[in-house]
Amino acid sequence: MTTTDRPHSTQRGAETRAALVAAATSLFAARGFDGTSVRDIARLAGANLGAITYHFGSKRGLYEAVLQHGLTPLVEGVGAAAKAAGKPMERLESVVDVFFDHLSRTPELPYLLLQEVAAGKPPPDQVLAILRRNMTNLRGIIAEGWEDGSIRPGHPMLTAVSIACQPVYMTVMAPVLKAIGGIDLQNPATRREVSDHVKTFVRAGLAPSQESHS
């Protein structure tokens, strides 16, 4: 048998697994799935060529492990912000912060996800489930804001997307922002400026309409 799935994985192979995921994350993000060879991954991870097949079954298996490993902490951060105390608008702003913070640490993440989405029409269930969780968290905060009148009514999911798209898009376009506008998201001060802009924009975009009542 060819160990297509992970073996018991309780031994010291865990180090190799982690090294492979780390190496694959940066290489896949930088060069895309097809643009990255398993030989490059193994070399960067200091592992043997056969280690990828052994631990992940295939190159594709490693890719899915990379996706899950990268997406989970971000979504958990958003979930924590969603469940925290405070007014809905404040929690939405902290969601924006969570996005920028996390994406600044792992800017490769959106690339990995976008590759996945752009490739075939339906992303794998694994990724869909994670995104669904994220969407549900955001919609929960928004619905709460409807109830107390602090957020203007609107399409729940589209509103969530309008918020989340900004940190993600700006992170993806960071090289362009830098080249065209001199905006360097790597710089913490600049990143705070960008994050503040997005929060202001979101706050204004969600505020109850101007000409209405109390």
Partner DNA sequence: CACATATTCATACGAACGTATGATTGAACC
Partner DNA sequence: GGTTCAATCATACGTTCGTATGAATATGTG
Site for DNA in 29-48 (CB under 7 A): 36-40, 47-48
Question: Under the phi-then-psi rule, with left for phi > 0, alpha for psi from -120 to 50, and beta for the rest, what region is 3?
Answer: left
For residue 136, the tally of other CB atoms under 10 A from its CB is 13
Residues of this chain that bind a copy of itself (CB under 8 A): 29-35, 111, 114-115, 117-123, 128, 131-132, 135, 152, 154-155, 157-159, 161-162, 165-166, 168-170, 172-173, 175-177, 179-181, 183, 193-194, 197-198, 200-202, 204-207, 209-210
Q: How far is the CB of 55 from a copy of itself (least distance, A)?
A: 24
Helix, strand, coil distribution of the chain in percent, nearest 5: 75, 0, 25
Nearer to DNA, 30 or 165 (CB): 30
Q: How far is the CB of 119 from DNA (least distance, A)?
A: 14
Among a copy of itself, DNA, none, what binds residue 39 when CB lies within 5 to 8 Å by partner kind? Answer: DNA
Among DNA, a copy of itself, none, what binds residue 44 when CB lies within 5 to 8 Å by partner kind? Answer: none
Q: Of 98, 82, 210, which is closest to residue 142 (Cα–Cα)?
A: 82
Ranges of beta strands (E only) in the chain are none
Token pair for 212: 């209405």
Token pair for 37: 């060879």
Among a copy of itself, DNA, none, what binds residue 119 when CB lies within 5 to 8 Å by partner kind? Answer: a copy of itself
Number of residues that bind DNA (CB under 7 A): 29
The kind and range of the H/E element at 69 are helix 59-83
